[in-house]
Amino acid sequence: MSKSERPQDMSRRQFLTTVGKVGGSLAVFSLMGTMGLLSPETMKAQSYTPPGQNDLSLTGRKGKKIIILGAGIAGLTAAYELEKAGYDCTVLEAKPFAGGRNFTVRRGTSLAEIGSKAQFAQFDPDSYLNAGPMRIPQFHSTLEYCREFNIPIEPFNNVNESGYYYNENVGSLSGQRIPKRAAKADVRGYVSEMLAKAVNQSALDLPLTSEEKQKLVDYLKREGDLNADLFYRGSSRGGYKEAPGGHLDAGVVRDPFDLKAIINSGFGNYFGNEYGYDQQMMMFHPVGGMDKIVQGFEKRLGNRVKLSAEVTEIRQSADGVRIRYKQKNKELELTGDYCICTIPLSVLRKIPADFSSKMASAIATTKYASAGKIGLQFKRRFWEEDEHLYGGSSLTNMDITQIYYPPTDYMSKKGVLLGYYVTGTNADKLGSMSYHEREKHALAQGAKIHPQYIKEFESSYSIDWKRVPFQEGAWATYSTEERAGIYKTLCEPDDRIYLAGDHISHIVAWQAGAIDSARSVVGHIHQRVMQA
Footprint on residues 173-212 left by a second copy (CB under 8 A): 177-179, 181-182, 184-185, 187-188, 191, 194-195, 197-199, 201, 203-204, 206-208, 212
What is the distance between the alpha carbons of residues 412 and 497, in angstroms, rounded to a whole number? 49
The answer to whether residue 244 forms part of the interface with a second copy (CB under 8 A) is: yes
Three-state secondary structure call for residue 240:
strand
Among 117, 233, 260, 358, contact with a second copy (rule: CB under 8 A): 260
In this structure, are residues 161 and 180 in contact, taking their beta carbons and an 8 Å threshold? Answer: yes
Q: Which is nearer to a second copy, 117 or 506 (CB)?
A: 506
What minimum distance in Å lies between the beta carbon of 517 and a second copy?
Answer: 4
Residue numbers 362-391 binding a second copy by CB under 8 A: 386-391
112 bridge partner residues: 118
- Identify residues 1-30 at the interface with a second copy (CB under 8 A): 2, 4-5, 7-14
Q: How far apart are CA 164 and CA 238, in angstroms?
A: 12
Q: Specify whether the CB–CB gap between 138 and 156 falls below 8 A.
A: no
Interacting residue with a second copy among 167, 342, 462, 505 (CB under 8 A): 505
Strand partners, 55: none
Residues 312-341 touching a second copy, rule: CB under 8 A, are: none
Determine, following the binding rule CB under 8 A, whether residue 172 of this chain makes contact with a second copy: no
Asked whether position 240 contacts a second copy by CB under 8 A, the answer is yes
Longest CA pairwise span in the chain (Å): 85
> How far is the first Cα of the chain from the last one, in angstroms, to the nearest whole number?
34
Please say which residue, 463 or 518, places its beta carbon nearer to a second copy. Answer: 518
List the beta strands (DSSP E) in 70-204: 88-92, 104-105, 110-112, 118-120, 129-130, 136-137, 153-156, 164-166, 177-179
- Contact call for residue 59 and a second copy (CB under 8 A): no
Q: Which one among 38, 47, 216, 414 touches a second copy, defined by CB under 8 A?
A: 216
In whole angstroms, what is the distance from residue 404 CA to residue 158 CA? 9
Q: Amino acid letter at 346?
A: S
Q: How far is the CB of 185 from a second copy (least distance, A)?
A: 7
CB atoms within 10 A of CB 531: 9
Q: Which letter does DSSP use for residue 282 in this model?
A: P
255 sits near a second copy (criterion: CB under 8 A): no
Nearest distance from C-beta of residue 75 to a second copy, angstroms: 14
Identity of residue 1: M
Letter for the amino acid at 99?
Answer: G
Complex with a second copy: residue 265 or 316, whichever CB lies closer: 265
Distance CA 32, CA 43 (A): 10
Q: How far is the CB of 205 from a second copy (least distance, A)?
A: 9
- Output the smallest distance, CB 153 to a second copy, in A: 5
Is 14 or 46 the residue whose CB approaches a second copy more closely?
14
Which amino acid does the sequence have at 124?
D
Residue 48 makes contact with a second copy by CB under 8 A: no
Q: Which is nearer to a second copy, 248 or 318 (CB)?
A: 248
Asked if 41 touches a second copy (CB under 8 A), the answer is: no
3-class secondary-structure state, position 335: strand
Which residue of 84, 107, 237, 380 would you call a contact of a second copy, by CB under 8 A? 237
Instruction: Tell whether residue 397 is a contact of a second copy (CB under 8 A).
Output: no
Q: What whole-number distance in Å separates Cα of residue 326 and Cα of residue 308?
A: 8
Among the listed residues 93, 113, 494, 516, the single contact to a second copy using CB under 8 A: 516
Cα separations in angstroms, 22 against 16, 27, 38, 95, 271: 10, 8, 19, 38, 41
Name the minimum Å distance from CB 52 to a second copy.
Answer: 19
Among 51, 52, 86, 266, binds a second copy (CB under 8 A): 266
Contact between 294 and a second copy per CB under 8 A:
no
Task: Give CA–CA dist 228/383, Å, rounded.
Answer: 38
Whole-number Å distance between alpha carbons of 347 and 367: 12
CB of residue 413 to a second copy, shortest distance in Å: 11
> Does residue 250 interact with a second copy by CB under 8 A?
yes
Among 88, 223, 313, 495, binds a second copy (CB under 8 A): 223
Query: Which residues in the 405-444 window bind a second copy by CB under 8 A?
Result: 407, 410-411
Burial 119-133 (b: 16+ CB within 10 A, else e): bebebbeebbbbbbb
Q: How far apart are CA 525 and CA 522, in angstroms?
A: 5
Q: 444-483 mask for a second copy (x: CB under 8 A)?
A: -------xx------------------------------x
Give the Cα separation of 295 and 284 in Å (integer).
18
Within 10 A of 349 (CB to CB), how many other CB atoms are there?
A: 18
Stretch that binds a second copy, among 109-117, 121-129, 141-149, 353-361 (CB under 8 A): 141-149
- CB 126 to a second copy: min, Å: 14
